[in-house]
């Protein structure tokens, strides 16, 4: 993916990683469209970031995705990059259905069905462009599980394999598939994460991502250094220690 000269749609980008990536991409000479559910927040983003466009979209609602895709393509026919950013992360207790079922269903709808529906809404247009990219967003937790977020872990693992599979299907097309794999980043994704010493500062994360996109234009996965501990535990042979460390446990305990 080239670092500049694109028209990029980032749904689910009204805060956190999505918004900071939108600002960084805009600063690099891209046309950026931010999507989100709250119109008042979109209006504020547009006012505070001249040059960034906005559109209302609820990625958990297929009708909203269809409406937003039509609006984006009508106003930005040069669109060539889709970033499937929207996602939720919730703690769950799987010892009883009341502790997880509703949250699990909502997480699957947003984190897995959302990207699938977004890709379905834009794939024909992207295939018509001479150079296009679908940027999926998985997680370090696609490769090592956090105990309290089973469904989040599972949906991100699914996004990883979806990215791998989609790349195979699109190999002879003009569409590249680029998977962004964040570690824990200081955002409001989970309570306490914005101030966590374990999480990576948001500015540092986005700066490193932009640098990797710029220096690795043919990459299939964007991995900041902080995520490699999780990403490659199995390959290194220390997966059990990675899982124990991630979950705050003694890896030698029985």
Q: Supply the residues annotated as catalytic.
A: 152
212 — phi, psi (to 5°)?
Answer: -70, -40
Beta strands in 65-118 (DSSP E): 81-84
Distance, CA of 49 to CA of 8 (rounded, Å): 15
Q: Are 149 and 89 in contact (CB under 8 A)?
A: yes
Local structure of 107: helix, strand or coil: helix
Q: How crowded is residue 168: how many other Cβ atoms within 10 Å of its Cβ?
A: 8
Distance, CA of 25 to CA of 165 (rounded, Å): 27
């Amino acid at each position: 993916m080239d670092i500049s000269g694109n028209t990029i749609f980032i749904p689910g980008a009204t805060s956190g990683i999505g918004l900071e990536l939108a600002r960084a991409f805009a600063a690099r000479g891209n046309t950026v469209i931010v999507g989100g559910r709250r119109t008042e927040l979109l209006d504020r983003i547009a006012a505070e970031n001249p040059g960034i466009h906005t559109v209302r979209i609820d990625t958990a609602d297929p009708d909203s995705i269809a409406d937003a895709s039509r609006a984006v393509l009508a106003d930005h026919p040069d669109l060539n990059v889709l970033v499937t950013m929207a996602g939720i992360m919730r703690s769950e207790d799987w010892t009883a259905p009341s502790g997880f079922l509703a949250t699990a269903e909502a997480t699957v709808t947003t984190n897995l069905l959302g990207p699938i529906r977004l890709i379905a809404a834009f794939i024909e247009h992207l295939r018509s462009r001479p150079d296009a990219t679908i940027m999926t967003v998985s997680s370090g937790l696609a490769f090592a599980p956090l105990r309290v977020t089973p469904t989040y872990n599972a949906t991100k693992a699914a996004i990883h394999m979806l990215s791998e599979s989609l790349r195979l299907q699109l190999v002879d097309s003009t569409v590249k598939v680029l998977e962004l794999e964040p570690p824990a980043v200081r955002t409001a994704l989970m309570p306490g994460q914005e101030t966590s010493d374990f999480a990576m500062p948001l500015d540092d994360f986005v700066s490193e991502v932009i640098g990797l996109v710029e220096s690795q234009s043919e990459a299939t996965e964007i991995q900041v250094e902080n995520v490699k501990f999780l990403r490659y535990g199995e390959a290194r042979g220390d997966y059990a220690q990675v899982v124990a460390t991630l979950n705050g446990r003694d890896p030698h305990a029985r």
